[in-house]
Amino acid sequence: MLGLMQDWPLTVDRILDHAASRHGGREIVSRSVEGPVVRTTYAELHARAKQVSHGLRELGIARGDRVATLAWNGGRHMEAWYGVMGIGAVCHTLNPRLHPDQLCWIIQNAGDRVILADIGFAPMLLAALASHPTPVERVILLSDEVHRPPEAGRRVLMYEDWIAGRPTSDAAGAPAWGRFGEETACGLCYTSGTTGDPKGVLYSHRSNFLHTLLVLQADVMGLSAADVILPIVPMFHANAWGVAFAAPAVGAKLVMPGQRLDGASVHELLETEGVTFSAAVPTVWQGLLQHLDATGEKLSTLRRVVIGGSACSEVLLRRFWEDYGVEVRHAWGMTETSPVGTMSTPGAETAALPFDQQLPWRVKQGRPPLGIELKLADEDGARLAEDGATAGRLMVRGPTVARGYFARDGEVLDAEGFFDTGDIATLDAHGVVQVTDRAKDVIKSGGEWISSIEIENIVTGHPAVAVAAVVGVAHPKWDERPLLLVQLKPGQVAEPVAMQDYLSGKIAKWWMPDDVVFLDEIPLGATGKVDKKGLRAKFAERYAAAELSQAG
């Protein structure tokens, strides 16, 4: 027997329809690539997204076709998103931080027919497309004719002129949004490719809609119509962690930062727009705190931030709360999980404790919301104990988790339907996750594991340290030994022994890095995480002298 409920497909066009209908006057503020701050509303965004849909139809874009975007967070990017998804085409968000060769490989693999791009990316994009074979038929630059770059030929369309005069509704036989199944492909996002070629994760309308409801849970992001949201995490990084769907779903004011993500620029938007909630990777927040330290300025409206992408240190949590009264929620997830998998919102018992006693729990990655199931497995796939101490491979399943990769054959799920995240973690009886390392980053020394994340979190508590990274380097006797790489705060000086002294007593003696290297800047990858792959390659011979001493 089936239920007698209405058939109402969970498609993301309904999210913006709702925002325009019930929160139409709520603001969307964008720092534009041309310079000025631009203000619009959900009603205006909805109308212009419909114009995008009409324009794409005219270019021959149909359901299932891939349309790429190459843009920072802004109102026009949002219009393009919903204009593509609303007609059943697939919105493929390209990461501009990738090398042009890798970008073109992804475009080719995805089969992108049209690309909508910020004008700042025009020189790189047009040069790359001219030198690589791709299926791209048309490039549309997200600006107007006045700002047409000199390298843009006449076949390149300027967005404002392209949508001008087009219908803003579905009247008079115009193409309607929706009217397709909720399992229809909706978005395409590629992994960063740190361990091989990038892999495409193909989201459905249903998965994105359910992820929106997941994000809105009080124990996840807990967003509401009263919030003013600054999504610093880019829209090309796993759907801006779902914020680009969640904010219009509740009618929250959106503040889009564009390309200026330095501490001063972020602080300006936080204060001038009255931001209450924001989300970003740790390096962005470290830059903000350094700006506040240098200027003595405060955070007057910000109440809650989500930190993800890489592990959040205790010092970052403590500083936000003790210095500025801002709650940090530590998140874990990945492109393949849409991306939210867990959130470190405390339960009743933990929340009742003093803040200092909450910290050991808050630095963990947290617990899964409704819709996410987790387990631990060993190398043979056997389940491991959920005792908070046993470490194993973290596995996940749920309606917002990938079951395969775009344009790739091969099974990625185990016999129970779980996806291997590639993370090494512990899991306790309450489902609280603590990631101890990425499987590819874990350091195996003398047959035992060393957690690079734990060492990094401790070192970033040193007052002179801005960023720290620990990588495993080949060693003739111990297989691998940890190497500590440190980027100091501006104006700070330190000796290697000072870092080792700071670690002494806080970690096992055999975990102690054999060497410390100070770098002017620790390189970041395409998603804002430390580029450990590059660092391992650069310092692969660091302990070669140990081999000579062994031979002697």
Residues involved in catalysis: 191, 336, 444, 449
Tokens of 193: 């490719």
- Pairing between β-strand 228-231 and β-strand 138-141 as defined by DSSP bridges: unpaired
Is residue 188 within 8 Å of 203, Cβ to Cβ?
yes
| Coarse DSSP helix, strand, coil percentages of the chain, rounded to the nearest 5 percent | 30, 25, 45
Instruction: Find, among 244, 232, 192, 231, the residue nearest to 85 by Cα.
Output: 244
Instruction: Find, among 432, 410, 409, 412, the residue nearest to 422 by Cα.
Output: 412
Burial bucket for residue 1 (CB in 10 Å: 0-12, 13-18, 19+)? exposed
Beta bridge partners of 515: 483
Per the rule left: phi > 0, alpha: psi between -120 and 50, beta: everything else, 269 is: alpha
Mention every residue, 6+ apart, whose C-beta is less than 8 A from residue 266: 230, 232, 257, 260, 284, 287, 288, 291
| Residues 84, 93, 265, 43, Cα dihedral to 10° | 10
Task: State phi, psi for 155 to the nearest 5 degrees.
Answer: -75, -15
Instruction: Find, among 16, 75, 15, 14, the residue nearest to 40 by Cα.
Output: 75
Mention every residue, 6+ apart, whose C-beta is less than 8 A from residue 154: none
Q: Give me the helix-helix angle, 13-22 and 42-58, nearest 10°.
A: 140
Query: What span, in angstroms and rounded, lies between the C-alpha atoms of 36 and 38?
Result: 6
Q: How many helices (H) and strands (E) does the chain have?
A: 17, 24
Is residue 189 within 8 Å of 201, Cβ to Cβ?
yes
Is residue 307 within 8 Å of 330, Cβ to Cβ?
yes
